[in-house]
Amino acid sequence: MFRLLPERPGDLDEVEALYDLCFAPGRRALSSYRLREGAPPIPGLCRVARDEFDALAGAIRFWPVRIGESGAPALLLGPVAVHPTRQGEGLGGALIADGLERAAEAGWTRALLVGDEPYYRRFGFTRAQAEALAFPPPTNPDRLLARALAPDAFDDVAGLVRRWDDDA
């Protein structure tokens, strides 16, 4: 049994430790992290999953970013991680589906992530929707995925994904 809860300031160290456990060393060198420096994560969309003993089993965060010259707003999903002992129980899926539902309710129309399409396709993320987008290097462009949270949200949206506070 898991409870999905808002991430609170007191969860920070535990969540960071979970990400350290689940991702390769050097995760903070990824271009996603540079994009996240432009703004804080979105409080209502950062969530943790705790088990019946209150142990942290999973966590997800979302950051705001902009796309291209128009500066179209989008959400960058991630990091999302589930503790290795709790993987494969549907928790990652629950965190992602819950987060995307809340994002759409909050009025966000575009979501992006860098990840494996075979996993994220089930949540509506595809490489095809991200075809006109570019991500700062050294990210592998084949791993940039997008999902429209409102009809036609990626029509006429193209260009480089950039920081929320980048007014260029």
Ligand X SMILES: CC(C)(COP(=O)(O)OP(=O)(O)OC[C@H]1O[C@@H](n2cnc3c(N)ncnc32)[C@H](O)[C@@H]1OP(=O)(O)O)[C@@H](O)C(=O)NCCC(=O)NCCS
Which residues of this chain interact with ligand X, rule CB under 6 A? Answer: 22-23, 80-82, 87-93, 115-116, 118-119
Distance in Å, CB of 39 to ligand X, minimum: 20
Q: Distance between CA atoms of 87 and 101, rounded to whole angstroms?
A: 22
CB of 64 or CB of 99, closer to ligand X: 99
CB of 115 or CB of 159, closer to ligand X: 115
- Return the number of other C-beta atoms located less than 10 Å from residue 140's C-beta: 9
Numbers of helices and strands, H then E, in the chain: 4, 8
Torsion sign across C-alpha atoms 131, 132, 133, 136: positive
Through-space distance between the first and last CA atoms of the chain, rounded to whole angstroms: 46
Distance in Å, CB of 168 to ligand X, minimum: 27
| Residue number closest to ligand X, CB atom | 92
Instruction: Convert 28-92 into a string of H (helix), E (strand) and C (coil).
Output: HHCHHHHHHCCCCCCHHHCEEEECCCCCEEEEEEEEEEEECCCCEEEEEEEEEEECHHHCCCCHH
Q: Distance between CA atoms of 49 and 8, rounded to whole angstroms?
A: 12
CB of 107 or CB of 138, closer to ligand X: 138
Backbone angles phi, psi at 60, to 5 degrees: -145, 145
Distance in Å, CB of 81 to ligand X, minimum: 4
CB of 108 or CB of 125, closer to ligand X: 125
CB of 97 or CB of 104, closer to ligand X: 97
Distance in Å, CB of 131 to ligand X, minimum: 19
Distance in Å, CB of 151 to ligand X, minimum: 26
